[in-house]
Structure 1
Amino acid sequence: MPPTGFHHVELWVADLALVEPSWSWLLGELGWELYQNWPAGRSWRIGDMYLVVEQSSAVRPGLPYDRLRAGLNHLAVHAPDRGTVDRIQAAGPANGWQHLFADSYPHAGGAEHYAAYLADTAGFEVEVVAPAERGPDLAG
């Protein structure tokens, strides 16, 4: 059976120059590689998935993006370990990300969920999730 999951995700932004540095930093920290680079956009990939951030000429003018309106609320991405989540949480503000739910970091998603919640300057939220810790092996 072929793999399932996302092939790619495309975020349309009003100002690529405003958000590209923060996305480039975050995805680079998570091991994503720059995949495509053109005047109106960038894409990064990891494995066979990729993420596009594009300032498309087809974007309709109007209200700015609001993650609390109908549509995309946030992207959740895997981190390889808790140390990476901690490093991203610590360095996020210096790289264009603001903390969300900082008062309950790293367990804003619950006691068993270890994640950083960040928003870029355009308001897009990313949840950086560490793998669940495995308990002691109780077999045998």
Structure 2
Amino acid sequence: MLHHVEINVSDLSKATEFWGWFLGELNYEVYQRWDEGISWKCNMTYIVFVQTEERFIQAGYHRARVGLNHLAFYADSRKHVDQMTEKLRNKHIPILYQDRHPFAGGADHYAVFFEGPDRLKVELVAPD
């Protein structure tokens, strides 16, 4: 079981708005909050977002570089994926691979792929 993941972000306020909404939809709750960060927890696993120091923001992030590519979360069902896809669209959150949605991960992989504020790819996957 994964204990936690920590992600540095360029704008903690934007990250808190985006991740707070999404993780709340998946039953995560705010776990810790301090001036430079926030975390959400579900069961025993938590996700931490920390404000990157100004001097490091210039380098930027890209999921194709060495490092974290994306985070994938389980949805409750295919219907849940569809409902979340609609909510993402209503919030104008960029959905990736729209030409292959909801099977961008393959014929047996029902999911929605989208981007967070720092362009980190996020995936919500229906169970088999």
Q: TM-score, structure 2 length as denominator?
A: 0.91
C-alpha deviation, 1:96, in angstroms? 5.8
C-alpha deviation, 1:116, in angstroms? 0.7
Higher-Rg structure is 1
Deviations 1:35-74 (A, max 9, x none): 1122211111111000011114497343211111111110
Partner of 2:35: 39
Partner of 2:73: 77
Structure 2 residue runs of 5 or longer lacking an equivalent are none
Among 118, 124, 127, the alignment partner of 1:122 is: 118
Partner of 2:14: 18
Among 102, 107, 112, the alignment partner of 1:111 is: 107
C-alpha deviation, 1:97, in angstroms? 2.5
Distance 2:30 2:98 in 1: 29
Corresponding residue SS for 2:99: helix
Instruction: Tell me if 1:91 matches 2:59.
Output: no
Name the amino acid aligned to 1:20: T
Q: How many residues are aligned here?
A: 128
Partner of 1:53: 49
Change (3 A) 1:58 1:9: farther
Structure 1 residue runs of 5 or longer lacking an equivalent are 133-140
Identity of aligned pairs, percent? 40
Q: TM-score, structure 1 length as denominator?
A: 0.84
Runs of 4+ in structure 1 off by over 3 angstroms are 56-59, 93-96
